[in-house]
Amino acid sequence: MSSRLSKTLSLFLGVLMSLFGFLKFFQPFHGWFEIQIQQSHLPHEAILAGKLTEILTGVLFLLPWLRRSLTAKTKDQILLVACFILFTQMAAAIYVHLQPGVPASVLPLGIKPPVIPVIVLLLDLLIAIAVWKERRAEKASDMPTQ
């Protein structure tokens, strides 16, 4: 994957996650998210943690492109951390979508099958794989030849 596509995807996921995390502090999203957590039998603490980590993940996806002073290695490390956090969030979102007690009316776009979390998860994996390959290629080129 080209670095341009990787940058575009990470900017998209950064805006998406920041926006969804922010919106969950306001109605009707706040109420929908509470119902999702409660009906999934997740701990009550997951409500605030979910909101804050979505915003944090969004910021981490945006940070490498907003801070020009970061080294390429640091940018890649930040993106990999963001990818890992987003992977766990989407795994939790898939779990929530699959719970029979969670009504479709409180899920994004009212879609009960975990279509949106799976798509976000796949985009996340595309970025992670691209960054991982780039890091490996840089390491290989840094190795002295004999």
pLDDT at 6 > cutoff 80: yes
Distances (CA, A) of 74 to 14, 16, 105, 119: 17, 22, 41, 27
User: Tens of pLDDT along 112-139?
Assistant: 999 999 999 999 999 999 888 887 877 7
Supply the pLDDT for residue 4: 82
pTM, whole model, 2 decimals?
A: 0.87
Check pLDDT > 90 for residue 5. no
Collapsing DSSP to helix, strand or coil, 15 comes out as helix
Q: What is the pLDDT of residues 23-71, one digit of tens each?
A: 999 999 989 999 999 999 999 999 999 999 999 999 999 999 888 888 8
Distance CA 45, CA 87 (A): 19
Q: Are 79 and 10 in contact (CB under 8 A)?
A: yes
